[in-house]
Chain A
Amino acid sequence: MAPSLPEELPWVEKYRPNKIKDLVYQQEAAQLLHNCLTSGNLPHCLFYGPPGTGKTSAALAFCKELFPPEIYKDRVLELNASDERGIKVVREKIKRFAQGSVSSAQFEGFPCPPFKIIILDEADAITPDAQTALRRTMEQFSKITRFFLLCNYVTRVIDPLASRCAKFRFRSLPMQLQVDRLRYIVDQEGIMVSDDILQTLTSCCNGDLRRAIMTLESAYCLARGSNITDEIINSVTWRVPDHVISQIDSNCLKICSSGENTLQFSELRNMAIEFINNGYPVSEIIYQLCEALIPVNHLNKLQKSVIMIKFAQAEKMLIDGSDELLVLMDIFGVLFQVYNEPDNVEKLIWLTRN
């Protein structure tokens, strides 16, 4: 059983970079980590950025290069949101690990600098109380312990913690780099995929490399050895099909150009019900509709601003758990009025009330 296991790994894990130099993009962080490998100097670090940009991969790859497997467990403590990280854990577990001294044993081929590393993954999920408790610990033991804080939203890490770390923003990966990486994986797996397909694939993933790899693998599995087509890609991404999005815009246009006497909101209402029945995620509809409406010419600036404000409000409501159907109908209601009365400034502004 043991030898067969590595093959069973999903590609996302299989192709996770094991060395700093394999890291895609993120030059500043890679540069710093690389310097540290040679000099042995390392500040506390804070990596932040959107999902799938390589924060965890960078931290793990760095640790793997720094320490040999034999002492890895003694030197590196990885805590993520799946571990209890209340104030008690910070006071006891983290502090105990941070206190212990390190041996100066050297291993061939590994720099093995005389400090330990604590990786706090998903640091934005640590409670503010626990973060406060961490402040002094970080300073007190900085001689023998370094911290890596990884998070999506830097604003949720309290300032005193952030100011103790060197901050690195992990940016969304540019299309081309993602395509290159996917190309590498595809070559390793021995699959024939055209560049166009890889392009469409990455364009669906908003710079999230993990999602791109994940999608690629699913598409490959679904295609069952035959060629991967656009259609398959569409069925495995989270995106709402483009024709659905353009249908909203064209329906609104059709309704408002049909003359003032035949106000037909019911058509939009039925469309909303149909979308919900089809299971399209409303957050995704908002996101794609927003992208689609910004470049159009048939809306003026005021109309667009009103729509965008509405989107922002709706997104907040959805995150707080509002009913999807009601929110979607609310959005359509606003769209309907915005399309119908492009010049009624007073009313349009009033629509943005909260």
Chain B
Amino acid sequence: MKSSQYVHFFFSNEPLFFLEDLMTRQGGLLWVDKYRPKTLETLDIHPEWTEKLASLCEQGTLPHLLFYGPSGVGKRTRIYALLRQVFGIAIEKRQVEHRFLKVGEPPKEVELTTITSAHHIELCPADVGYNDRLVIQEIVKEIASSKPIELGNVHRGYKVVVLHDIDEVSKQAQQALRRTMEKYTSCCRIIMSAESVTRVMEPIRSRCLGIRIPCPKKEEIEQVLQKIAKKEGLVLPDCYANQLVTQSKGNLRKAILLLQVGRAIAYPFSQQQQKKNEEEEESWISSQETGWDWERLCYDIANIVIREQNPKQLCNIRNKLYELFCHAIPGDMIFRKITLHLLRMMDEEVAPQVCHWAAHYEYGMKRGSKEIFHLEAFLAKVMYIYYSHIHTQYSMAWMDD
């Protein structure tokens, strides 16, 4: 549903090669989906929540829930597992529908993808973009206000609306959700997922139980990787597993995808390890730090800024930025990555300034429309700061604006 989830993945070194391998040998299933835990008991990470969620279901008074945490930590998986616990096996019969709906006055046509089962409906209002308010006003309200149909013995008296990426929807849409959440609580529960709760308005937060899902610990990721490797009948050396864990930066989905890509490129894994060692040291470091190609490009950009500060290099950077945009990498991810790389390589003294300008220009980018301008302005600014820092021992660069 979230288009950006897999996009970074396909911009990897050997996409075609990998795809071929995927289709022929592995039955066309990504391991992330194949080994996605289906029930609460089989969830591998965050056991502390598992029991609590189970007891929430038992009570029969499931509150509205909001799962929040960084991407790739299993928010969605947890929601499915919870629904499975509440409604039983019936939830597994899911249907994906692309609908064209007419909403609003005058009617506008919006395209919406929904996933439905007998007991729940799942949608991502942010997909609709500008019209998300209308979707919430009409569709969600309509679903929420009708009573659930009785189905066998799993009747619960309520149904569930799952709204993904609630932090991406507009303020008006969130406003529209407020009273809906209260008015129809007798027959409908709303479960939401968000990456950043800061963008979810206070009134919504005060209406639901927030469940924070932090990044899994390194050992936890390693365990999951080993488990998958075992099921696939692979030998996963500790050092390679370690490397994957470092690259994933706490993102479990990324770790699993990397493992599968690694499998497609070369097996046994130890060969790969050696191949890396033979290459020159610098590129080895960069591959240690990064997973996908787009991340490596960000690393290159940061590297250029540190090495040389002149207009020529800025042009060079522009090409690389365009390459990133061509592959539909969102601007804020580029911003984050480049800033982190810069901070790691820079002198500590200028770091606070770089942080300030990063936040400043990223803010500009969110409000403006052309992402490239703001990224370039930021990089030019960093070049300037760094240049004056190197060339005058007692830098006064903080004085000019």
A residues neighboring B (CB under 8 Å):
1, 4-5, 7-10, 12-13, 51-52, 56, 80-84, 86, 88-89, 121-122, 125, 152, 208, 210-211, 214-215, 217-218, 221-222, 224, 235-238, 263-266, 269, 273, 276-284, 314, 317-327, 329-330, 332-334, 336-337, 347, 350, 353
Contacts and interface: CB of A to CB of B under 8 A. Distances in A.
A323 B336 contact: yes
B203 A51 contact: yes
Closest 10 pairs between A and B when the two form their complex, measured CB to CB: A333-B352, A330-B359, A279-B69, A80-B179, A333-B355, A81-B175, A211-B206, A277-B215, A281-B197, A278-B214
B70 A122 contact: no
A333 B105 CA distance: 48
B215 A330 contact: no
Given A81-B179, A86-B105, A122-B175, A322 B213 contact: no
A322 B187 CA distance: 36
Interface stretch (B15-23, B288-296, B360-368): B360-368
A126 B55 CA distance: 40
Interface residues on B, range: 35 or more
A296 B330 CA distance: 41
B155 A1 contact: yes
B352 A265 contact: yes
Interface in B327-376: 332, 335-336, 339-340, 343-344, 348-349, 351-353, 355-356, 358-360, 362-363, 366-367
B309 interface: no
Contact of B205 (A5, A224, A238, A314): A238
Contact of B215 (A1, A235, A278): A278
Contacts of B262: none
A269 B366 contact: no
Nearest to A232: B52
B56 interface: yes
A89 B137 CA distance: 14
Contact of A10 (B150, B185, B335, B363): B185
Interface string B149-183: 01000010110000000000000100111111011
A222 B56 contact: yes
B104 A84 contact: yes
Given A211-B206, A236-B209, A329-B358, A323 B332 contact: yes
B217 to A, nearest CB: 10
Contacts of A208: 206
